[in-house]
């Protein structure tokens, strides 16, 4: 029997196959949209091609080269930007907390004019076509370049600019925090409690729960959609499918 309601991906993670954008950005590089996550750790696994990830945190700017079969892990608050110089980079994105990054846990590094108010930010984030996704990305790259320039001035100047961006990220996502809490409570927390309950059974020499084992086919959306960093093919967790018609970011 294929269980489409109770099973979830390991630890309530979620996966997306990503073909990184292959068009140039304002600084001449080819790649995706620089952004951060406020709650989720994320992992990139290189499926094919090669490229790089440009990163920024309190220690400043850095760049990590990516080759096939390599992976990169980064925590909330790390600004990241995929670079695709050979136009062949494809990765698997593994996301914490039932794919919370697909539910708004992401803030683009726009310049202050787009971050200052909800109205401006929502306008900058709105995407209904690949062309608009490129426009959003390019605005994000422009803000990323400003942050990078601040760190080039001095570490203190860069950290001041980064703190300001973090404050904007907090403000622009304030209306989603309760939703995120509920997703985590119904996903990762449930998965953890299930594992603890199973260990408790085993410590009591009771393996009866194994009789209820099951499996589920994880579907892949075969029609790519434009995302932050490229064209997305999402793998939907049957336990966390959104209601029909509900949009995810």
- Per the domain annotation, does 182 fall within a domain? yes
Buried b (16+ CB within 10 A) or exposed e, 105-130: bbbbbbbeebbeeeeebeebbebeee
Q: 27, 158 in Cβ contact below 8 A?
A: no
Q: What radius of gyration do the chain's Cα atoms show?
A: 19
Q: What is the pLDDT of residue 237?
A: 63
Tens-digit pLDDT string for the chain (249 aa): 333 446 778 888 888 999 999 999 999 999 999 999 999 999 999 999 999 999 999 999 999 999 999 999 999 999 999 999 999 999 999 999 988 887 889 999 999 999 999 999 999 999 999 999 999 999 999 999 999 999 999 999 999 999 999 999 999 999 999 999 999 998 899 999 999 999 999 999 999 999 988 887 776 766 788 888 999 888 766 555 543 333 344
Q: What is the pLDDT of residue 239?
A: 59
- Per the domain annotation, does 242 fall within a domain? no
Q: What is the pLDDT of residue 242?
A: 44
pTM above 0.95, yes or no: no
Q: What is the pLDDT of residue 243?
A: 37
Question: How many Å from the N-terminal Cα to the C-terminal Cα in the chain?
Answer: 32
Which SS3 state, helix, strand or coil, does residue 206 take? coil
Q: 96, 13 in Cβ contact below 8 A?
A: yes
Q: What is the pLDDT of residue 1?
A: 31
d(Cα 155, Cα 171) in Å, to the nearest integer?
24
- Per the domain annotation, does 38 fall within a domain? yes
- Per the domain annotation, does 243 fall within a domain? no
Q: What is the pLDDT of residue 245?
A: 36
- Per the domain annotation, does 1 fall within a domain? no
**Where in the sequence is the domain holding 39, given as residue range(s)?**
10-236
d(Cα 44, Cα 112) in Å, to the nearest integer?
28
Q: 108, 125 in Cβ contact below 8 A?
A: yes
Q: What is the pLDDT of residue 48?
A: 96
- Per the domain annotation, does 229 fall within a domain? yes
Q: What is the pLDDT of residue 179?
A: 93
- Per the domain annotation, does 2 fall within a domain? no
Q: What is the pLDDT of residue 240?
A: 56
- Per the domain annotation, does 248 fall within a domain? no
Q: What is the pLDDT of residue 6?
A: 66
No. of H helices and E strands in the chain?
Answer: 6, 12
Q: What is the pLDDT of residue 102?
A: 78
Counting the structural domains of the chain, the total is 1
Read off the CATH number of the domain in which 183 is found: 2.60.120.10
């Amino acid at each position: 029997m294929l269980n489409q309601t109770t099973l979830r991906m390991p630890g309530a993670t979620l996966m997306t196959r990503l073909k990184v954008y292959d068009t140039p950005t304002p600084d001449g590089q080819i790649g995706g949209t620089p952004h951060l996550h406020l709650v989720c750790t994320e992992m990139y696994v290189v499926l094919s091609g090669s490229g790089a990830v440009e990163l920024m945190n309190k220690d400043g700017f850095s760049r990590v080269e990516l080759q096939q079969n390599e992976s990169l892990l980064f925590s909330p608050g790390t600004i990241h930007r995929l670079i695709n110089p050979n136009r062949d980079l494809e990765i698997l994105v593994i996301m914490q907390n039932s794919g919370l990054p697909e539910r708004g846990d992401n803030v683009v590094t726009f310049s202050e004019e787009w971050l200052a108010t909800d109205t401006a930010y929502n306008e900058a984030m709105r995407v209904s076509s690949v062309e608009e996704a490129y426009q959003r990305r390019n605005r994000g790259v422009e803000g990323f370049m400003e942050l990078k320039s601040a760190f080039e001035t001095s570490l203190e100047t860069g950290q001041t600019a980064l703190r300001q961006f973090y404050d904007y990220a907090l403000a622009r996502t304030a209306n989603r925090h309760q939703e995120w809490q509920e997703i985590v409570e119904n996903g990762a927390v449930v998965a953890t409690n299930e594992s603890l309950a199973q260990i408790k059974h085993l410590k009591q020499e009771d393996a009866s729960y194994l009789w209820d084992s099951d499996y589920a086919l994880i579907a892949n959306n075969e029609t790519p959609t434009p995302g932050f960093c490229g064209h997305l093919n999402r793998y939907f967790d049957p336990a966390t499918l959104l209601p029909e018609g509900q949009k995810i970011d």
